[in-house]
Amino acid sequence: MGLKTFPGGVHPYDGKDLSKSKPVTEYLPKGDLVFPLSQHIGAPATPIVAVGDAVLRGQKIAEASGFVSSAIFSSVSGTVKAIEPRRTTTGDMVNSIVIENDGAFTEVEYQECDDVSKLSKEEIIERIKEAGVVGMGGAGFPTHVKLSPKEPDKIEYIIANGAECEPYLTSDYRNMMDEPELLIGGMNIVLSMFPNAKGVIGIEDNKPDCIEKLRKLCESEPRIDVQPLMTKYPQGGERQLIHAVTGRDINSKMLPADAGCIVDNVETLISIYRGVKQGRPVITHNFTVTGDAVCNPQNYRVCVGTNFRELLEAAGGLKDCGVQKMIAGGPMMGFALFDLDVPITKTTSALLCFSEDEASKFEPTACINCGRCVEACPERLIPSRLADYAEHGDKATFEKWYGLECIECGSCSFGCPARRHLAQSIKTMKKLVLADKRKK
């Protein structure tokens, strides 16, 4: 298959060479661990431990409080120190379970499944739910919900999202290079639930070694294909990836299942394999610490709940040049941190430290109507006008010009020669409009 892609998009400097070749090392935390009860989309989990309880690594500490919710597991052994609001990467205070690490990492015994093929569909879903698997690319949508579409027979594609289009991030690259068998294993488990589906692993062509490796492994897998994708941001956006792989388009009101697709991040599929086959819950996450201000950019397998500051110190800390900006996640869609004392969750995959902050280096100037935001927008919007409507508070026109279709990828701001904060204005307005809709 040739290179596939989507219309629009931008080509930011990719910076992956900083950490690409560093193999994943397991990082065992030393300090306290913090587990926010809401690290997924849906209802926050309900704690099932109390302050003072002893817990083991891999033990469930909070359970899903509804269908669209997810369980949370301790990644260390120790005692529950507190259940209180703690700051998370977005700056919000979220109720969290704090566990004092005893440093022993005593694990619970996992219920391995000898023959996955004998499991029924319901049993697979149950095991995925019991492993607390959520979309690990960043969205955090509970995977057992995603894998329970209304009409399973109409699912034609299971797409593994290995695009990793965000610059600087290499955690998924390492996932695919280091554990391709688990990825294929996870894909096969999902495929077993959808008889009419074929598996596609979508990878940007800036990772040729990944493509080659997975292709070789997939030679004996009749139902799985590897699809090289053009290296372009946001190739890993769900709607963009579906377009590239299948040519089908969905909008904000549709689900991938409406186009016969289910899209999962590669690490999510690996977690599905671990959960279903090995009975291991999600307690670790591949994580990249990188940026020009970090002494030793690294890829880690970190325990969920680990403190950002501790991990940065493990990577040698900051260079003398100082740091202007720290980001949880990628540079295009990640959150700027104002405090490093926040925990790593199931969905954070990177800490970036930059010695210079490009976003505030430039003053916004007048829009010259050049249309670069229009060319860049993967959703075929007119970002400059949407930002105007947002700034004028014109909700009706904002909606009429499809403002709610924005996927918040930031391509418009990236390309704007007038340095306008287009994505920021549009995102804010989108929140306001959606809040209005909820009230009605």
Can residue 127 be called a binding residue for another protein (CB under 8 A)? no
Minimum Å distance from CB 108 to another protein? 37
**Nearer of residues 14 and 172 to another protein, judged by Cβ:** 14
**Nearer of residues 13 and 118 to another protein, judged by Cβ:** 13
Q: Given its phi and psi angles, is residue 75 left (phi above 0), alpha (psi -120 to 50 degrees) or beta?
A: alpha
Can residue 434 be called a binding residue for another protein (CB under 8 A)? no
Minimum Å distance from CB 156 to another protein? 17
Can residue 336 be called a binding residue for another protein (CB under 8 A)? yes
Handedness of CA 346, 240, 3, 159 (dihedral sign): positive
Query: Taking CB under 8 A as the criterion, which residues in 237-266 touch another protein?
Result: 239, 243, 249-254
Per CB under 8 A, the list member of 417, 431, 434, 437 interacting with another protein is: 417
User: Number of residues in contact with another protein, rule: CB under 8 A?
Assistant: 70
- Block residue for tokens 């701001």: 413
What one-character-per-residue DSSP string does 49-109 give?
Answer: --TT-EE-BT-EEEE--SSS---EE-SS-EEEEEEEEEE-TTS-EEEEEEEEE-S--PBPP
d(CA 13, CA 439): 41
- Block residue for tokens 């430290």: 353
**Nearer of residues 103 and 322 to another protein, judged by Cβ:** 322
**Nearer of residues 202 and 234 to another protein, judged by Cβ:** 234
Query: Taking CB under 8 A as the criterion, which residues in 273-332 touch another protein?
Result: 322-327, 331-332
Minimum Å distance from CB 394 to another protein? 14
Query: Taking CB under 8 A as the criterion, which residues in 160-189 touch another protein?
Result: 167
**Nearer of residues 142 and 410 to another protein, judged by Cβ:** 410
Contact partners, residue 134, CB within 8 Å, separation at least 6: 39, 40, 41, 70, 140, 141, 142, 143, 268, 282, 346, 347
Query: Taking CB under 8 A as the criterion, which residues in 6-45 touch another protein?
Result: 7, 10, 12-13
Residue 430's identity, in one-letter code, is K
Sheet (strand 33-36) strand order? 33-36, 93-101, 78-87, 54-55
Minimum Å distance from CB 30 to another protein? 20
Number of alpha carbons in the 13 Å side-chain half-sphere of residue 276: 31
Taking residue 359's Cβ as centre, other Cβ atoms within 10 Å add up to 17
Per CB under 8 A, the list member of 76, 384, 390, 399 interacting with another protein is: 384
**Nearer of residues 138 and 279 to another protein, judged by Cβ:** 138
d(CA 58, CA 74): 5
Per CB under 8 A, the list member of 379, 398, 399, 429 interacting with another protein is: 379
Can residue 371 be called a binding residue for another protein (CB under 8 A)? yes
Per CB under 8 A, the list member of 126, 225, 292, 405 interacting with another protein is: 405
Q: Which of 323-339 are b and which e, b meaning 16 or more Cβ less than 10 Å from the residue's Cβ? A: bebbbbbbbbbbebbee
Can residue 402 be called a binding residue for another protein (CB under 8 A)? yes
Alpha helices for 97-170 (secondary structure H): 121-130, 143-146
| 133 to 153, 247, 330, 400, 413: CA distances (angstroms) | 23, 28, 21, 37, 33
Minimum Å distance from CB 1 to another protein? 22
**Nearer of residues 264 and 379 to another protein, judged by Cβ:** 379
**Nearer of residues 107 and 375 to another protein, judged by Cβ:** 375
Chain residues that interact with another protein, rule: CB under 8 A: 7, 10, 12-13, 167, 239, 243, 249-254, 322-327, 331-340, 352, 354, 357-362, 365-372, 374, 378-382, 384-385, 401-402, 405, 408, 410-411, 413-419, 421, 423-424, 427
